[in-house]
Amino acid sequence: MKTYLLLPCVFFLTLAGLRADPPVVSNVVASQRAGTKFVDIYYNLAASTSTVAISVQLSGDGGVTYTLPAVTLTGAVGAGVAPGTGNHIVWDAGMDWNGQLVQNCQVRVAANDGTTQAPPPGMAYIQAGPFQMGDNFAEGDTAELPVHNVQVSAFAMDVNLVTGALWASVQQWGAGNGYDCATGLCKGTNHPVQTINWYDAVKWCNARSQKEGLTPCYYTDATQTTVYKTGQLDLQNAWVKWSANGYRLPTEAEWEKAARGGQVALRFPWGNTISHTNANFINDGGESYATGTGSYDPTWRTGNPPYTTPAGSYAPNGYGLRDMAGNVYEWCWDRYGVYYGASPAADPQGLAAGSNRVLRGGSWSTYAYSCRAANRSRASPGSTDNSYGLRCARGL
């Protein structure tokens, strides 16, 4: 039986903001609590502001990359942390990284004085910056080429797929406020919603925004005056209020950057092979990079299809996002097209015309090939399938 090990480490980070006196983190000490899978992290914090936002990142390669998942954190972490000495964070490593042996670990504690917005509850922060979009693996599709650098602005994304319970609560609110979003189906209320089309996903994002008092992103024409609530409109890029603080579908570039979790040139968010311990997909043994045996995941092949998994059942990626491969496909904003060679270098929003919209991530009913981070799938925006779902993004 594997045991979890995190070597004690000391690391400090100064995160400079725009103020003259940025916050300073020092004397970071982390150690595994004896006989448990909890890790205690202590640090000192100096800041000229009354409170700052604290985040934690972990490296399994001595500080070369910081991609180990650290999501289940309690204590002096998140927004509203006051300066002081001996600040204490508890990481539940058994929840986020169970059964893994880490021999060269470093912990990084970062303080933000307010120049970068913290992600909303239930969402993860994806920092601005470039990433390599596309896939050079031999089994890839020419639509994934050429691999190219894309600059993406900062945004937030739902940690989990939208569940049946969340969909139902927003859909019911929307029905009383002028929206005609489909009911949606789910294997269980904690499973992802599925059998929804692109139009319903977009309208539901607007309803979720208005339900929470946020500004909707989608409108019925380029004047951006009438919120899109009903029917099946062929929405254009100009009809999106990209500066709004409401929920929306991620662009294809945002989705792929988020899925990779900070990793570069890997098939999947965690590496180059996949098994049923990583994701919910069909493993027929015909793909060299799919390990293990069996067709559908036997744990979830119960009753009638779909054989979905409860949202968040697998380990998060480097950005803290779960189920970025398999379970259900995720609708994206973009129209599908083979245009990577001429794609904008910053914040691409897809083609201006086209009959299909992009789906990403693969599903319970697809093979490992479709679960790769670079894989591009598409469907008519009016299509419904018991493998089509969504997660939301928000601009920051």
pLDDT at 13: 40
pLDDT at 64: 57
- pLDDT (mean) for 362-371: 96
pLDDT at 157: 97
- C-alpha span between 77 and 48 (Å, rounded): 18
Structural domain ending residue among the three candidates 118, 139, 167: 118
pLDDT in tens, 269-311: 999 999 999 999 999 878 999 998 789 999 999 999 999 999 9
Query: Contact, 90 vs 74, CB < 8 A?
Result: yes
pLDDT at 114: 60
The reply to whether 192 falls in a domain is: yes
The reply to whether 284 falls in a domain is: yes
pLDDT in tens, 193-205: 999 999 999 999 9
Q: What is the CATH number of the domain that holds 219?
A: 3.90.1580.10
Give 230's DSSP letter. S
Residues above pLDDT 70, as percent of the chain: 91
- pLDDT (mean) for 96-101: 77
In the chain, the number of structural domains is 2
Band the pLDDT of 116: cuts 50, 70, 90. Answer: low
Question: To the nearest 5 percent, what fractions of the chain are helix, strand and coil?
Answer: 15, 25, 60
- C-alpha span between 374 and 139 (Å, rounded): 11
pLDDT at 60: 77
Taken as a whole, the chain contains a residue count of: 396
Give 216's DSSP letter. P
The reply to whether 205 falls in a domain is: yes
Query: Contact, 133 vs 372, CB < 8 A?
Result: no
- pLDDT (mean) for 262-268: 92
Q: Tokens standing for 331?
A: 């609708």
Q: Is 213 helix (H, G, I), strand (E, B) or coil?
A: coil
The reply to whether 4 falls in a domain is: no
The answer on 156 and 24 residing in a single domain is no
- pLDDT (mean) for 118-139: 89
Q: Picking from 94-103, 174-183, 199-208, 325-334, which range would have the lowest pLDDT averaged per residue? A: 94-103
The answer on 42 and 156 residing in a single domain is no
Structural domain ending residue among the three candidates 69, 89, 118: 118
List own/partner pairs for 305-309 with CB under 8 A and 24 or more apart. 305/365, 305/386, 306/187, 306/194, 306/364, 306/365, 306/386, 306/387, 307/187, 307/280, 307/364, 307/365, 308/186, 308/187, 308/191, 308/192, 308/194, 308/280, 308/364, 309/191, 309/280, 309/364
The answer on 330 and 211 residing in a single domain is yes
The answer on 184 and 102 residing in a single domain is no
Query: Contact, 310 vs 304, CB < 8 A?
Result: no
Q: Is the pLDDT of residue 179 over 90?
A: yes
The answer on 175 and 53 residing in a single domain is no
Q: Is the pLDDT of residue 3 over 50?
A: no
Structural domain ending residue among the three candidates 91, 118, 145: 118
C-alpha dihedral (286, 327, 343, 346), degrees to nearest 10: -130
The answer on 241 and 159 residing in a single domain is yes
- C-alpha span between 254 and 256 (Å, rounded): 6
Tokens 């120049």 found at = 115
User: Across the chain, what does the average pLDDT equal?
Assistant: 89
Per the structure, the complete domain to which residue 189 belongs is given by 119-396
pLDDT in tens, 35-93: 999 999 999 998 888 888 888 888 777 765 566 767 788 999 887 899 999 999 999 88
pLDDT at 16: 33
The reply to whether 1 falls in a domain is: no
Q: Which helix (H) or strand (E) holds 27?
A: strand 24-32
The answer on 165 and 65 residing in a single domain is no
